[in-house]
Structures are given as structure tokens and as C-alpha cells.
């Protein structure tokens, strides 16, 4: 029997191999995993005409290259938003959808909160934007993670313009992104220490999906995600999700 095939999409900051190291180790040989980096980082600048549709078509291209006609899809933060967009654009290809704190669910309620916050950050001096962006992801009073010692890794050099390009793409997205219905099973996770934006989103999506489960992870937050904080629990949840899809 072929193991489940799953595409893993990272957020806008950390590369996929680092973001999913703990989860991939926990899944082991029980799944075939495809780590898919975001298209925004495919070159030294965002692709021409970059938008959410660029990421959506990039997922199809990666799956096609792997020979996967159908697959399970899992994304965190920016990757979670892309996963949602993909599942609604190509629902026939997505056996199940799992998201951890997706950047946006393409609802009017999410846009009404998020877009003014992104504009506020964009108006800050360049040296202050990243710190403000990090704090936006956390609940009030939760301290952001400290920077690791030593020089920043090479991939960090792309993050400034990558975040700006992605947040612009999010701001330009509309509810039409999810106009097609997705009927497969959906799993949503969020951390207790993250911005309450995601708890509100978790509740809101009960009205969008017919087969839907949301779980709160105590002590987790956007930079110590559910799959990093509790990889064993997330792996078990994903296996249950994949079984329900079959």
C-alpha cells in the first residue's frame, strides 16, 4: 500500500526543511512528504506579477513534477493561506487540507482586521518593520523569540522583500479566492499564545467546511508552531485526517 502523499508548505519566514524537521521526523516512513518552498523565493526577487495565484500554480507544478495527481496538503502561515487558496482552486486534487495559523482565510472579516495592520507595518521605518511583523503574530504580552546567536543565515537576506511581496499579495486577494467549494476533510490548528485572530478564524471556518476539526495547542504560538511544539500530536492528527479522506 502506498503511503499518503502530502505537500508541506512553510510560512513566509522559515524555509520548509527547518519548519518541518520535527514533523517530518515524527511521520517517518508513514507518509511521502514533498517540501515545497514558496514561489516568492524562487529567485532573487519576487516573480513578475507575483500574487497568490503564483503560489497556487507553483503547487500544481511541484505535484506534477512528482507525478502526484492527488495529494494531501498542509501549510503553515503564508503556506497555510496558499493551501486554502489551492484547495478551493483545485478541489479535485486535494484529498485533505490541514492548516496551522494560515495568514488569511480570504474572508471579509480576516481582511478587515489584517489589511490595516499590514498597512501600519508598511508605514514604519524599514528597520522597525520585521519586529512589528513578528509581534503581530503573538498574543498581547507574549514575548517574541530571541534571535539565535551568530550571523543570520543566508536565507534571511530574502525575507524583507519576501514578506512585503507576500503581504501585498494577501492585501490584494478577495473572497473570490474561495468561491469554489472544498468538500474534503479540513484540520485547523492554532496556539494559545498566538494572536487571537486565529482563534476567531478557527471558529469562523466551521461555517465554511462540512468536515472540519479545529484544535488549540496550549503553549504554542506562531513561531513555536503546533508541529514544532507537539509534533507527535500533530502527526497523529494528520494520520486521522488522511484516514478520513480515504
Report the percent of the chain where pLDDT is more than 90.
93
Confidence of residue 151 (pLDDT cuts 50, 70, 90): confident
pLDDT tens figures, 1-22: 789 999 999 999 999 999 999 9
Nearest alpha-carbon partner for 39 in 156, 162, 133: 162
Span 216-240, average pLDDT: 97
pTM beyond cutoff 0.85: yes
Q: In the structure grid, which three cell numbers stand for residue 193, read together?
A: 499564545
Nearest alpha-carbon partner for 68 in 117, 133, 111, 8: 8
pLDDT tens figures, 88-124: 999 999 999 999 999 999 999 999 999 999 999 999 9
What is the fold, at CATH topology level, of the domain defined by 5-245? Rossmann fold (3.40.50)
Question: What is the pLDDT, as a whole number, of residue 191?
Answer: 98
Span 185-198, average pLDDT: 98
As a whole number of angstroms, the distance between CA 75 and CA 238 comes to 12
Confidence of residue 146 (pLDDT cuts 50, 70, 90): confident
Span 21-41, average pLDDT: 95
Q: Give me the numbers of helices (H) and strands (E) for the chain, helices first please.
A: 10, 6
As a whole number of angstroms, the distance between CA 134 and CA 238 comes to 27
Enclosing H/E stretch for 118: helix 108-122
Burial class (CB in 10 A: 0-12, 13-18, 19+), 16: buried
Nearest alpha-carbon partner for 34 in 72, 89, 69: 72
Domain spans in the chain, listed from the N-terminal domain onward:
5-245
Query: What letters, b where the CB count within 10 A reaches 16 and e where it falls short, cover 30-54?
Result: ebbbbbbbbbbbeeeebeeebbbbb
Average model confidence (pLDDT) across the chain: 96
Amino acid at each position: 500500500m502506498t503511503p499518503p502523499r502530502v505537500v508541506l508548505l512553510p510560512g513566509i519566514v522559515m524555509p520548509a526543511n527547518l519548519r518541518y524537521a520535527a514533523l517530518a521526523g515524527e511521520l517517518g516512513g508513514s507518509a511521502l512528504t514533498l517540501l515545497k518552498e514558496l514561489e516568492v523565493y524562487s529567485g532573487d526577487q519576487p516573480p513578475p506579477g507575483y500574487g497568490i495565484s503564483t503560489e497556487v500554480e507553483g503547487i500544481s507544478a511541484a505535484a506534477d513534477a512528482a507525478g502526484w495527481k492527488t495529494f494531501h496538503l498542509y501549510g503553515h502561515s503564508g503556506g497555510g493561506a496558499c493551501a486554502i487558496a489551492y484547495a478551493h482552486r483545485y478541489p479535485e486534487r486535494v484529498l485533505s487540507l490541514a492548516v496551522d495559523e494560515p495568514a488569511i482565510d480570504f474572508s471579509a472579516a480576516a481582511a478587515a482586521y489584517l489589511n490595516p495592520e499590514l498597512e501600519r507595518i508598511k508605514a514604519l521605518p524599514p528597520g522597525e518593520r520585521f519586529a512589528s511583523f513578528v509581534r503581530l503574530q503573538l498574543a498581547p504580552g507574549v514575548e517574541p523569540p530571541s534571535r539565535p546567536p551568530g550571523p543570520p543565515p543566508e536565507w534571511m537576506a530574502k525575507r524583507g522583500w519576501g514578506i512585503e511581496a507576500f503581504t501585498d499579495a494577501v492585501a490584494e486577494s478577495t473572497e473570490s479566492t474561495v468561491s469554489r467549494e472544498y468538500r474534503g476533510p479540513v484540520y485547523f490548528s492554532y496556539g494559545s499564545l498566538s494572536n487571537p485572530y486565529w482563534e476567531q478564524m478557527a471558529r469562523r471556518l466551521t461555517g465554511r467546511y462540512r468536515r472540519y476539526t479545529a484544535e488549540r495547542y496550549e503553549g504554542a504560538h506562531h513561531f513555536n508552531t503546533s508541529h514544532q511544539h507537539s509534533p507527535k500530536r500533530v502527526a497523529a492528527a494528520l494520520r486521522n485526517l488522511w484516514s478520513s479522506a480515504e
